[in-house]
Amino acid sequence: MQQLDIFSYLGKLQDYYARERIIPSTTQLSVLWNGKARSWTHRIMQRLKEEGFLENAPGGRLRPGPRFFERTVGHTIRAGLPQQASDVQPELLRIDDYLIENPSQTILFPVKGDSMVDLGILEGDMVIIERSHSASPGQIVLAIVDDEFTLKVLSKDQKGYYLEARNDRRSKDYPPIRPEQKLEIYGFYVGLFRKTRIAGHRLGSSRNP
């Protein structure tokens, strides 16, 4: 009942995309697919679209669809695998894409101190902050207190807004911060990333072009 072997075409397209990071036009795809006619190429792309490997992008062009990054299950993976290697391939999916939704409003901040360890935010982590002058209680915000940026949970009670740390073991060291006048919010927390490298990795003269 298999009507058209889409996958042999798909494979080449995926390879091309991994190289060029762009979905080619029908004309280019025709060449890539061993010189098939443009109309035939178009029909196959249509099929790939129906199957969810491609999807429409603005301007009548196509972009990778939800299934485009699916992993071909098979080699290397053991039977009874728990959750297969997260079918996210770092080569194809950018972590950046995943984490950042509004690039122009996003800034990274290195974390200092341990006031938020209970939320898994450690010193040295990079937190991703989206600029905003307001936030709602419960959100983690980057606020400006005494000319310093500080990452805290925004809270509110009958006396107004205040900032809370999240470190049970040293709660006395981090009392709630109540603004003298008004609370200056710089942005809100949307995520973080952390790098834990063994020192000495890639030593020597790294004079790469």
Q: Is position 90 an interface residue for a copy of itself (rule: CB under 8 A)?
A: yes
The site partner of 103 among a copy of itself, DNA, none (C-beta below 5 to 8 Å per kind) is a copy of itself
Element of type H or E holding 8: helix 6-20
Q: Residues 108 to 127: which contact a copy of itself by CB under 8 A?
A: 108-110, 112, 117, 120-122, 125-126
The per-residue b/e assignment along 71-93, b for 16 or more CB within 10 angstroms, e otherwise, is eeeeeeeeeeeeeeeeeeeeeee
Reply yes or no on whether 182 is catalytic. no
Task: Figure out which of the listed residues 98, 134, 160, 175 binds a copy of itself, where binding follows CB under 8 A.
Answer: 98
Task: Figure out which of the listed residues 35, 103, 200, 204 binds a copy of itself, where binding follows CB under 8 A.
Answer: 103
CB of 60 to DNA, least distance (A): 4
Asked if residues 104 and 84 have their Cβ atoms less than 8 Å apart, the reply is no
Q: Residues 111 to 130: which contact DNA by CB under 7 A?
A: none
Task: Figure out which of the listed residues 20, 27, 124, 149 binds DNA, where binding follows CB under 7 A.
Answer: 27
Reply yes or no on whether 152 is catalytic. yes
Site string for a copy of itself, 44-63 (x = CB under 8 A): ------------xxxx-x-x
Long-range contacts of 69-72 (CB under 8 A, 24+ apart): 69/93
Nearest one of 156, 174, 176 to 164, comparing CA atoms: 176
Closest CB to a copy of itself among residues 133, 159: 133
CB within 8 Å of 106: residues ≥ 6 apart: 100, 128, 129, 130, 131, 190
Which residue out of 115, 134, 171, 172 is catalytically annotated? 115
